[in-house]
Structure formats: structure tokens, C-alpha cells
Structure 1
Amino acid sequence: MAAALAGLVLVAGCGGGPEDDGQEGVKDTPSQSASGSAGPQEAPTPLVAHDPPLKFAPAGMWALDTRRLAAATLDGKNAYGYAQDHGELVVADLASGEAVGDGAGPKGDLPEDYGEDTLEKEPPLCERTRPGAGTAGGKRVAVGVFPTVSKGSGTTADTSVYELVTVDAATGTAVLQAPLGIAVGGDFCQVSGVSDTTAVLVLGGSQDGTPTTYGVDLATGRVSWDRPGFEGQLVLGGRVVGRDSAGGSVRVTSLDAATGKEQWQALERSGAQYRITAFSPEAARVRNVDANGSDEVVRLSDGVPLEIEGFGERLHEIQDCVHDQRATTICSARTTKGGELSGYDAVSGTRLWTVGGPSDTEGRSAPELLTAFHGAVYGRVVRDGRPADPIVLDARTGKDRESQPGAAPFQVNEYAAFTAQGVYETAG
């Protein structure tokens, strides 16, 4: 990979990035600047898949802003993010590090001052989360949404609407630039996910109200369905699962991603602040982050709560869970005996192993959990008075698999890794 990808990762927008997932003590980190290179450009080295990767090497010279890198998306041999001056969705080739084509923004005019002074401030609202990735018309596409303004004349006021933009991953050119007819405003603007040919967008909302979730056809750019008062947080298995506050009470609701038809409701509780993430391909983790917080796993097919060891236990607070996209889910927890890391069979929910916490009999230190991929768990071990050490564990056994991986990624595939230090190639 070459330094040219820096224009993408430097500016891929995000609110809260992985600064605390950092890798103090990681050796051979990429350069903090892409400037100063000279001489003829060499042909990019072909990408080599390592599945799962256990070793990482710096990808080249990079100018990084880790807040924004956290909102870039790895998708096979490409990465998706936002252009340096904002307002454009960009595809980058991981082998060369260069942009594929010119990228694309909305056809409509962006608001005045859009993206200005964001080196010191947060990026524009619509660029703070990862772009979506999907397939439409046989093409792999990056998916983003932007605000646009149509200036009025005379006594006619300006109008602002959102526009869906998709970019061909192979050519870096616009496939779709579709005004949605949805008025701009509120605290939500994100692509929650893509299911088949439907992009799921969460727009609007404010401190006094919840957003609306929309299903948009990637082939036509037409809004297929909408659900006011619903924040779609998880798009998985043809479903959209989210926090539903329509009608006053709060509950977890599942919708069909293609039609918006309601499938089930569960866990109705007054004022609940639900955060919903994947536990496995067949189950969702539902965490209530208010003062009377709870933590449960529900079946995606019908919303029925499942009994999972470690969830709902007194003095045992689950922090994060990550599915490895194969057979195992890894969860970190805070216990009376310090940090704990556990591995669960993704189908049965059976706990396979623990590191740290009250059940550990070997005296091992539980690593901080960053991510997991295809049977490998990536984290870092923090010890008093010493820099953090990246580590890779085996997802099925919890045993150390690689004690010197060279980096601690928070997003990874078989070709590349995004870390708090920069972009790394997989090397073994």
C-alpha cells in the first residue's frame, strides 16, 4: 500500500474514534506524514490474503487522524471513506493506497460552510460514521448520505433535503445520486447498514425526539418505507432491529429490511436507552445504558430473550461483544476480580472459555477487546508501568495465538488492518 490512501483515511469522519483502543508500545508504526516522498512510483505489491491475519506490517507513509480512520470501511481489497475537503465519498485500493477514480458527492449543492474547520472540530454529521457497503445491479458500491440545499428566489425559502450517493467500488464513479425528498435536520444522519439492495438510513431526531429510519432502494434511490420514532441500530439477516419509542413507551422492534413490515417487539420498558449490536448471526445484544441498565441477548427470529452465562449476573458488567464472522462471539466484562474476556459458541451461546475474572484459575490477564475476525481475537494487554502489548488469541480456546503481532487492530480483514496508529498490511 502506498501513501496516496492518506487522503482517504485522514478525513474519514467519525464522532468518537478508537483513541482509547490505542497501541502504546507498538513498534514500527507508519509515518505520520505522507509528504517528502521522491522518485518514481513503484508498482503496488499484490495483496496477499492472510486468513485470519496474525502478523501486521506498516502499510507505508501515512498522515493519520484516527478519529476519522475509525469511520472508514474495509471491504475486501478496498476501503471507503470521505474526501479531504468533505462532501465526497471515496473508494481506495488497498494494494496501491491510491484513490479509485475521483469519488462522488451529491448532485445538489452542499450547505455553505460544510466541512470547514474540521481539523480541530468534529467532521460533518453525515461523515461521522462508516459508509455502507452493498451490491446493486451487479456492482459493489460504497453508500453514503449527504445534506443538500436548493436556494430559493424572491420570497421562496431555501429548501434542504438529503441525497443518497453510491459509488462503484471498481471505478470510483457515481452510480446513484438520488435526492430523497427528506428534509435536513436533527442529530442523526447515518447509513445504519445495507441489506440486500436496501440501504437503511437513520435521519432526523433531536434531544427532544427520536429519528426516523428509512429503507431506500439502491437500484432506484426511492424510499421504500419509513418508520418514525424508530432508530434502526442493527441491520442483520434481512432485519432491522432498533429502539422504538413511537407511542410513548420504549421497546426493541424488528422490521423486515426490504419492506419495513414489523416482525416482533420485545423488552418494553419506560424510558429505556437501548443500544443494540450483533451477538451472532442469529442473536442481538440489547443493552440498556440508563441508570437501571440491563444487558440481554435476544433471538433475532422472534425477540425471545436467551439465557447466556455472564449476562444479567450481579457484579458482572458486560462491556463489549464481537462476533468473529465465523463461529464464535467474544465478550469483555468488568467484574469484582478485574477485567474478564469470554468466548461463546455463536450457535448455542455456550461459554467456551474465560480469561481473567472470578472464573479464571490460571492467573492470566484479560486483554482489552478490540475486534475479532475468522477465529482470531485482537486486543492489547495493559500492565501497570508498561506500554500496552498487542496480542492475538484463538477465538475457540482463548489461548495465546500470537504474542507479537505488530499491531492491535480495531477493524481488520484478510488484507489490511485499521489501528489507532494507522493502516497496516496483513503479513502472516
Structure 2
Amino acid sequence: MRRHSKVALMAGAALMAMSTQALSAETIKVWSRQTDESVSVLKALTAAFTAETGIEVETYNTGTDFEQRLARAAAGRDLPDVVVNDDSAMGQMLRMGIIEDIDPSTIKGNEDVSPAAWNSAKASDGKFYSVPVSAQAFAFFVRKDWREKLGLPQPKTWDDLHKLAVAFTKDDPDGNGKADTFGMTIPASTVRGYTSWFMSNFIWAAGGDFVQQSATGFKPDLNTKAGAEALGFVRSLFCEGLTQPGAINATTGDALPTFRSGQTGIFLSGPYHIAQIDEQPGKDKIEVLPPPAGPGGPAALAEGTSAYIMKGTEHREAATKFIEFFISPKGQEIGMAQGSGHTPLVRLPVNKNIDVNAVRQDPRWQTFKEVFDNHSHYVPPVPNWTPIRMLTAEGFNKILSNCDADIAAELKAVDDSMADELRKQKALATATQ
């Protein structure tokens, strides 16, 4: 009996060892739409997850052709297990048929995620298809040294913002005796819909919106007094020469260097640019200010990053564990990259238990948080925002590039195009139900 017991114990120990090895040998693939500036943060996150769970993570990231690579992976039936992508990309990935729905109640720590963030993970069919892992809102980076030199106040209204842009363009704020500075930094390119992205902040601040929602669906709503005021205000910045050269075709990647190099003095962006701007032109020269109020009050675009579980994964349990780790206080704080000098993966934490001030110890981050909490707007929950963003970007860019364009007529054309697209989306959704 003793011999048999000893053999049984040895066999049991061997089985446990084999089971542990099998768990530690499990590998999931995580793809992330981000630039190399923050990939080290993703590596730190996955390393901590592996240390805690034994599950290995193979990562891939790109900030340029991410959507195209996802499409190729889907066509080749070689999708990753988890994708970390913008929450606004949900509709496009749903249309591609590559993401699984998620029941928030099955996600450990779901109750710690803010309701506003969870709302961004809900599609127009009422189901959830992702878990939010990061949030952000937009505010203005302003050359404080220029503003104070010219004796101007912090802008509180659109009129104040316009006056500041004029002064930064015409009053030699850098003191070099040359007319080589401009007020506003604007990424007005249609690439990836940047024009729509930028203009959304002003449309909401004017009291307008892209669409109105009713029980029967969505209806275009840009051709309004508010829509015209928003486009008119931003177009005036172009027509008066208050933006950087080439702004009408600039992406954010093109626009950022003009602010960092001292060519422009006002830059609307998210908190992910704090580290780069601290390096150049320098932390002591910059202030972060909430968006000035438009006719409808202050408003800013809210965005976020979500984790999606891909269809066909053979590692759903491990993928879920990775996402649960990501939204945990430990995962969120690693993603915030405090003190690392790297661009954070988690801008504003979605976990309600994290004190931004305690982690960041930087009042500028608190400004972004207050904007998110009090004045932020997510894009409308249409079935697929990507084509709406693209067609509105084309329409807005056309208005901003032509100082003589009839804004109301052009916005009507945008509304008509949007109505066609919304009908297609509704028909597609009905056909697939």
C-alpha cells in the first residue's frame, strides 16, 4: 500500500507539473494600435501580466496601417486574440465581423469601471463588444510664456481664443523680430477623418451635434445654426491666416511638430502629448487650459481605448484574464506610465478607484480629467462611425478650404450624404438580425 501510495503521489505531482507547464506555455496574441513611443508601456503591462498569471503575450503594434493589417489578418484567418484599439473603431470591426460580444457582468472588476466608459463600449444594438481600458478628453496646450509676454488673459470664450490666435500671429510673441509665428495648430486633413475629429469639439461647443437619435434611428443634424457657427468660427482662423502653413492638409503627426518647434502657440490635443511637449518647447513654457466656451458652452471630444476579444480565438479565458488585469488598479497604473517619460497607454484611468492626482502628481492631468468629467462628448452611437467620420471630414475640409463657400449649402450636402450612409447602415443591420 505504501508503495502504491508513493507511486500515486508521484503520478499526481507529475500531472500537476504538466498542468502548470501547460498553463505557463499558453500564449495569447495582443495587437495594439499605437506608435512606438508607447510600445514600451505595453511591454511593461504584458510582462507584469505574465509574471502574475504565467500566460505569455506576443505583442504587435503600429500607429499607421492598423486597420489594413487587421483586414488582412481576418482574410487569412489569422487574427490575434485581443485587439487594443480606439473605441470609435467598434462599428468598423463589427462590420468586418471580427469581434465577439462581451457580457460586462462576467468581467472581473467590471463594477470598478466608470459608467461613462462602459457606455462607449456599447453598440447601437445595445450589446457590449469591448471593455474600456483608457479614457481621455481634449484640452488646449497654450504657450504660457507668449501669452504672458503679450499681457493677455487665459481664453474663456471663442472670442478670447480668436484674439489670442491673432496676437500670437501678428505681435511677435517669441520676440525674434520676424513674422514667423501663428496662433492655432489645426490638423485639418481628411486622412483618417482628422477634420471631423477636430471640428467635433467646436460643433458641440456651439450647441450642435452630428445626428439626432429617435426611436426609429438616427437623423443628420449638421445643417443648423450651431453647425454653421462652428464651421464659420474655425474657417475664420484659416481665412485670416491664423493657422500654421499647410494646416488644411495636416494630420496630427504633421501638426504636433509645428507646436513643439515654436511655430504655433495653441494646440488642441489629448494628454498623451504631455511628455513630448514637456521635452520641447518645455514644461515651463506651456499651460493646459479647458476648452473656451462657444455659444453652447464649453465642450470637448471624449475618446477612449478599448480591448476587443476577436472571433475565433482559442484562448478566450486567457484573453479575458489579460483584459481583467488591464482594468485592475495595478494594470491601469502600469499603463499610465507615470515617471517613465514614455507616452502612456492609459491616459485617464477607467478604474474609479484610482486617484489621478495621486498617481500623476501633475495638475495638468487633473485639468484633462475635469474636462472629461464635466464637458466631454463621445461620438454618436451610430452603427458604424468610421464612414460618418470620413464623409463629414471631406465636407468640413471643403468648407474650411474655401473662404467663399456657402456654409449652409455645404452642410446640407453633408447631411444628405450622411442620410444615405445611415440608411445603408440601418438596412445592413436589419438584414443581419
The structure with more radius of gyration: 2
Q: Same fold (TM over 0.5)?
A: no
Give TM-score, length-normalised by structure 2. Answer: 0.28
Which structure has more helix as a fraction of its residues?
2
**Which has the larger strand fraction?**
1
Choose between structure 1 and 2 for higher RCO, CA contacts under 8 A separated by at least 6 residues: 2
